[in-house]
Structure 1
Amino acid sequence: MTVIAPPSRPPALSPSRASDFLQCPLLFRLRTVDRVPEPASSAATRGTLVHSVLERLFDAPAGERTPALAQELLPAEWAKLQEADPRVKELFAPGGDAESEGVDNWLDAASRLVSTYFTLEDPNRLQPAERELLLETQLPDGPLLRGIVDRLDVKPDDGAIRVVDYKTGRSPNPRYEGKVLFQLRFYGLVLWRERGTIPKMLQLVYLGDGQILRAEPTAEQLEGAERKIRWVWSEIEKAARTETWEPRPSKLCDWCSHRALCPAFDGTPPPIPEGAVEIRLGIS
């Protein structure tokens, strides 16, 4: 019998896990409740590496945050990432997600993403108040919300808050902007509930094509995000209590690593480990 260890922090709903459920309830279950291991992803790993470089860049004083420094940081952060996550080595092994690309080409692509950042912002003109900031807030009669913001800027003159999130992919087609705006408003809602201030700006920096998506949230929009989050959570509770985590086939299934466990592809999900729903979701 699988023994589920208690979490180090109380269960919470994050923007990515909420998006998982909206995409496919079964995907949410396999990732959040069962925690079925997934192979290393080339795109996700490269994103982690680039995020680390941009975080470390701001350790340097203003005036020294140059493209050359960022490129110098890349090998050291790459070494740290390989040490922290042994799965990374699987990327370039036979059958790995980046086998055909090779390590050198893969790192060159990461280097180009770092270079693109400097075409969008001048880090020497910024002094982030927070980096990799963990945010939490408890919704009354609702879930605990949790997320990590890449960067939080606060204007010294009026205290206006800007939330900045880096994306290493390409900016979305306007038809799909609603999904990313939901993530931004999720962060905006948590900040508002915790600090009593609505962020002035929510900003997504897309390094894949050098675009920036900005939104100035209103109280009405953040209240709408809260209603959507509450609805998502009510659906998660319903699925948990009835044990009906239905698959939701879409084009995104082509990139899913759990197809072998999905009934939509003649697979069978594993039994849910005893106690996993209560421990990992806080739902009894």
Structure 2
Amino acid sequence: MVEPVAAGQERRRPALSPSRASDFKQCPLLYRFRAVDRLPETPTRAQVRGTVVHSVLERLFGLPVSERAPGQARDLLLPAWKDLLADQPELGELFDGPDDPELARWLESANALLDAYFELEDPRRLQPEACELRVETELDSGVLLRGFIDRVDVAPTGEIRLVDYKTGAAPREIGEAKALFQMKFYALVLWRTRGEVPRQLLLMYLADKQSLAYAPDEAELRRFERTLEAIWQAILRAGRTGDFRPNPSRLCDFCDHKPRCPAHGGTPPPYPGWPEPDPGPESALDRAD
């Protein structure tokens, strides 16, 4: 159910985030379940681990340069997990209490990802302009774009690099395509807000200790802008009619909403109408890979 806006609360315009745009591209009905119905989903241990690792890396860059070492990152892991648990106590249900040996193994797997990060770059040689940067811009067509960037690096000469950490085990052909879509989204927002095309988009795959660098150009971002505008117009058309059609694929086996999907014999809940004021911001778990 979409919650009504409280008296005196500012209405936020519906916006498009990279997560929700990817949802609609993958399956319009998935977009509806997440952005319109806002049906609850059960996060996986891998998703939550990704969120915690992202939090640790953000905190790491908040330390003095000399303290950005593997041992310090490991020391930040448990506090980051406890803070996330305090904010979302339901995540504790992923384990059988603090003494669950599965929790210890899960934390150690997160430590392994943090160790892998230090094999890819030395954070003592970097001074990011921002970590977990919230960005928003309105295109000339009126589409409002909104999202969060893991890290923004700006060279002394002014070149911009956008960095995204990947910790999950998604198939590379799917995961990389989705990740590049996300990074182009951020590059477009930065270009529209700062007037400069980012020099590099850097994806850091911690699980296999590999990096993927990509250099966008202005013509490509203009084409991508038209793609986002087309996606948004398709979302609005579906929103007016409630006709969010399923798009069955092998990803259905990993979808929490498969039992209620008509493509698999299920029945969606009654359409609640287009959400006001907003389909909701993407959360840290949305962005966990």
TM-score by length of 2: 0.89
Task: Tell me the residue number matched to 1:252.
Answer: 251
Secondary structure of residue in 2 paired with 1:36: coil
For residue 76 of structure 2, the aligned residue among 73, 77, 81 is: 73
Write the distance in 2 (CA, Å) between the matches of 1:241 and 1:8.
Answer: 19
Runs of 5+ consecutive residues of structure 1 not aligned to the other structure: 95-99
Determine if contact 1:169/1:208 at 8 Å carries over to the other structure: yes
- Kindly provide the CA deviation profile for residues 82-115 of structure 1, in whole angstroms up to 9, marking residues without a partner as x: 1011221121259xxxxx9821111111111111
Whose relative contact order is higher, 1 or 2, with alpha carbons under 8 Å and at least 6 apart?
Answer: 2
Task: Tell me the residue number matched to 2:177.
Answer: 178
Write the distance in 1 (CA, Å) between the matches of 2:76 and 2:176.
Answer: 32
Task: Tell me the residue number matched to 1:109.
Answer: 109
Secondary structure of residue in 2 paired with 1:102: helix
Task: Tell me the residue number matched to 1:58.
Answer: 61
Change (3 A) 1:206 1:137: same
How far residue 63 of structure 1 moved from its aligned partner, in angstroms, is 1.9
How far residue 183 of structure 1 moved from its aligned partner, in angstroms, is 1.3
TM-score by length of 1: 0.90
Determine if contact 2:12/2:278 at 8 Å carries over to the other structure: no
- Paired AA for residue 218 in structure 2: A
1:42 aligns with 2:45: yes
Percent identity reads 51
Determine if contact 1:39/1:87 at 8 Å carries over to the other structure: no
Change (3 A) 1:247 1:77: same
Task: Tell me the residue number matched to 2:118.
Answer: 118
Change (3 A) 1:101 1:234: farther
1:11 aligns with 2:14: yes
Write the distance in 2 (CA, Å) between the matches of 1:83 and 1:67.
Answer: 25
Task: Tell me the residue number matched to 1:90.
Answer: 93
Task: Tell me the residue number matched to 2:27.
Answer: 24
Write the distance in 2 (CA, Å) between the matches of 1:188 and 1:29.
Answer: 26
- Match runs of 1:119-198 below 5 Å: 119-156=119-156, 158-170=157-169, 173-174=172-173, 177-198=176-197
- Kindly provide the CA deviation profile for residues 154-208 of structure 1, in whole angstroms up to 9, marking residues without a partner as x: 112x111100011112585357643322211111000000000111111111111
Task: Tell me the residue number matched to 1:277.
Answer: 275
Change (3 A) 1:171 1:33: closer
- Paired AA for residue 279 in structure 1: P
Task: Tell me the residue number matched to 1:97.
Answer: none
Determine if contact 1:4/1:273 at 8 Å carries over to the other structure: no
Determine if contact 2:2/2:36 at 8 Å carries over to the other structure: no
Change (3 A) 1:106 1:34: same
Write the distance in 2 (CA, Å) between the matches of 1:181 and 1:3.
Answer: 33
Task: Tell me the residue number matched to 2:287.
Answer: none
What is the number of equivalent residue pairs in this alignment? 275
